[in-house]
Structure 1
Amino acid sequence: MRIHRLALVACSTVMTLALPLTLNAQQHAHGQAPANRPAAIASLLRDLAQVEQKMIALAEAIPEESFGWRPGDGVRSVSEVVMHVAADNYFLPTFAGHPAPAETGIRNGDYPSVQAYEQRQVTKAEAVQAMRHSFAHLRGGMEMADDSFLASQLDVFGSQMTGMDLAVITTTHLHEHLGQLIAYARSNGVVPPWSRS
């Protein structure tokens, strides 16, 4: 009787400990965010929301006739910067197993597919819409991150990094291009919307 009771206690303990792992695996399989989002990801998602809002507002504020402007030969135009951001927002999550939508043509590990996407000739409205959709995709991928992903080892362009490294690089990359768009906007007489009195 005592052995039977110990077996029941052991079995219920194992099930209690395994349930959160099973639920977390099911959430990932069904595209649901983990129940306990890591604090680092929560911080990065807040930052992502701010940079997204600024980049979209800035792209919308730059007139269409300035979307072809570039500061010099061999440097991305305004439109190309917007499309580059959109392309990388789709591409970087592929390293974490979050594929880009098929209609983008962007494939995991295939940088030429990224370049083809970002070099498409688009109107201002199409570029802004592409960036808006790409941020939703990126946010969806980041929302799936859990502690095991953050600690996982990834191969990104032949470099080993953790999932946390990838999440940080992804958000810092956006700030790099936000600064670039601010400089482009001001060079074209456009004051960033959040800086206006």
Structure 2
Amino acid sequence: MNFKKKMIYSFNANASKMAILLGFVLVSVFQTAASSINTITGLETKTNPQYEFYTKWLNGAEYTLEITRLMPIEDFNFRPTAESMSFGQQLLHIAANMDWLGSTYLNAEPHSMPLRDTIYGKEELIHILEEGFEKAAIAIKNLGDEQMEEVVDFFAGPMTKRQIVHLMHDHHTHHRGQLIVYLRLNGLEPPRYRGW
């Protein structure tokens, strides 16, 4: 099961359990409990901004993992200039940023592996990214509307947790764009764009 399907399944399983519990409570109060469940559980509703971001995050994660798998292991040390990070360093940087923002500001569980000044192989980096994307996705999914509006102290000034979520996404997208250039410079055609 690929990363996105695994996370959607996990999300749907938790949402289903919550929906069943709410259904039992609502049946005694409302005749139309089934129509109320989606409104109350929130993330099941495709028009909910948090659900929209969660699914976009999973799609972006799968896109980055596809790019990672496409680059041959022998090119993970490729860097377009001496000052640039290598392909592998870019991946570790993405994971470290998700870990820092997620665990510091969004109540995400910290990553299980060291993410600084360590050299990993391709399969290890894929695992590191999968774990990082999953922990961030769970943190995003678990933030309620009130928590999204909580203000945190950030080095660039006070920000809401919603802004931190968008910052994490923007940082990931920024570095994924660089990875696409690395693929092109190595004569590889990147996967088809998907920004939804």
- Same fold per superposition (TM over 0.5): yes
Structure 1 contact 96–154 (Cα < 8 Å) conserved: no
Residue equivalent to 1:111 = none
> Whose Rg is larger?
1
Q: Any gaps of 5 or more consecutive residues in structure 1?
A: 1-18, 20-33, 106-116
> How far does residue 97 in structure 1 lie from its aligned partner after superposition?
2.5
Residue equivalent to 1:70 = 79
Measure, in 1, the Cα distance between the counterparts of 2:166 and 2:174: 12
Measure, in 2, the Cα distance between the counterparts of 1:74 and 1:118: 18
Cα distance change, pair 123–136 in 1 and its aligned pair in 2 (3 A):
same
> How far does residue 168 in structure 1 lie from its aligned partner after superposition?
1.1
Measure, in 1, the Cα distance between the counterparts of 2:117 and 2:89: 7
> How far does residue 119 in structure 1 lie from its aligned partner after superposition?
2.7
Higher relative contact order (CA 8 A, sep 6+): 1
Q: Any gaps of 5 or more consecutive residues in structure 2?
A: 1-24, 26-39
Residue equivalent to 1:43 = 52
Q: How many percent of aligned residue pairs carry the same amino acid?
A: 20
- Among candidates 99, 121, 124, match of residue 122 of structure 2: 124
> How far does residue 166 in structure 1 lie from its aligned partner after superposition?
0.9
Residue equivalent to 1:15 = none
> How far does residue 49 in structure 1 lie from its aligned partner after superposition?
1.5
> Structure 1 length normalisation: TM-score?
0.71
Measure, in 2, the Cα distance between the counterparts of 1:130 and 1:65: 19
Q: Deviations over 1:77-125 (max 9, x none)?
A: 0000111111112111121232414x335xxxxxxxxxxx243111111
User: What SS does structure 2 have at the residue aligned with 1:104?
Assistant: coil
Residue equivalent to 1:91 = 100
Structure 1 contact 86–118 (Cα < 8 Å) conserved: no
Measure, in 1, the Cα distance between the counterparts of 2:135 and 2:188: 28
Residue equivalent to 2:89 = 80
State whether structure 2 residue 159 is matched by structure 1 residue 149. no
Q: Deviations over 1:9-29 (max 9, x none)?
A: xxxxxxxxxx9xxxxxxxxxx
User: What SS does structure 2 have at the residue aligned with 1:156?
Assistant: coil
> Structure 2 length normalisation: TM-score?
0.71
Measure, in 1, the Cα distance between the counterparts of 2:109 and 2:157: 20
What letter matches 2:100 in structure 1? F
What letter matches 1:58 in structure 2? I
What letter matches 1:163 in structure 2? K
Measure, in 2, the Cα distance between the counterparts of 1:158 and 1:123: 34
